[in-house]
Amino acid sequence: MDELRARLRRAEDDARAARYLAGGADRDVGEIRTELRALRSEMRSEFVDVRAEMRSEFVDVRAEMRSEFVDVRAEMRSEFVDVRAEMRSFRDQNNRVLSAMRADLTDLRTDMDEGFRTMHEGFRVIDDRFLEIRGVLDGQAGWNQRLADMLEVLIRRQGDDSTDRT
């Protein structure tokens, strides 16, 4: 029985120690819960602040980007105006050059046509001169033939006269 009493006392001591430890664990769990609630509240507050800061920065970035895009658009418009002006100038200059070349080719063609006309007129004059010369040569040939015929007649007459004299 003493042994049983000793066991009972030990069991009571163990139960008391367990209650003491359980009370300490309850206090620890309560403290942890309080700390977790505080941490959760602090994190919510931080998250709200970070979210507000991020929104503010996004608003700033968006405004800056809009401003930059406005500047880029204005610069591009200005550049495109310059490019258009340069293209217009190039086209106008190109048209002037092509018009001058066209005028030069027209003048060259006119000069060549006039030169060919002059050449054809010159050939016609040469042809007419050849006809005149041929006429003169034909006339001269006719005269030479007549002269030869007359000389032949004279020579025959002289030959007949010399045979008559002997």
d(CA 146, CA 139): 10
Give the 3-state secondary structure of residue 1.
Answer: coil
What are the tens digits of pLDDT across the range 2-23?
887 888 888 888 888 777 777 7
- Sequence spans of domains, the chain: 1-118
Output the CA angle 104-105-110, nearest 5 degrees: 95
Please give the structure tokens belonging to residue 110: 């006119």
Distances (CA, A) of 136 to 55, 92, 123: 117, 65, 19
pTM of the predicted model as reported, rounded to 2 decimal places: 0.38
What are the tens digits of pLDDT across the range 42-88?
888 889 999 999 999 999 999 999 999 999 999 999 999 999 999 99
Please give the structure tokens belonging to residue 44: 């919510």
